[in-house]
Amino acid sequence: MIVLLTGLAGCGKTTISKEISALWKMPLINVHEALHNIAVGQGLLKARDWISKVGVESALLFVRTFTLNSLEMNINSKGVIVDEVLDIETFELIKKSLKVRSPELIQITA
């Protein structure tokens, strides 16, 4: 199973994804953490600073590539959880690219 979480900042995606990951023993891919690490590596404070610097389209291309590569490397027999699917196009790309049953998209609202 592939579980993709989406929702507004601060709504609990990361908290929920960590709990599900621990409970179901599934690897967790945290997209925001990857963006944050890139930003910090370039001397910026936040992921949104990096997105502003490179532009939204470049950031989305990175996120899509990172997510697909991470899914392929981290999926186990139980599946994988992705914390932070940024847009529907990324969701559709994941569905199309992976030869597994359709991922579960869970939208978290506060």
Q: What is the pTM of this model?
A: 0.83
Residue 4, pLDDT score? 86
Is residue 42 classed as helix, strand or coil in its secondary structure?
coil
Residue 109, pLDDT score? 67
pLDDT at 87 over 60: yes
Work out the average pLDDT over 79-104.
81
What are 19-57's pLDDT values in tens digits? 999 999 999 999 999 999 999 999 999 999 999 999 999
Nearest to 34 by CA among 10, 70, 58: 70
**18 in the Ramachandran plot: left (φ > 0), alpha (ψ -120 to 50) or beta?**
alpha
Of the pLDDT bands very low, low, confident and very high (cuts 50, 70, 90), residue 102 is low
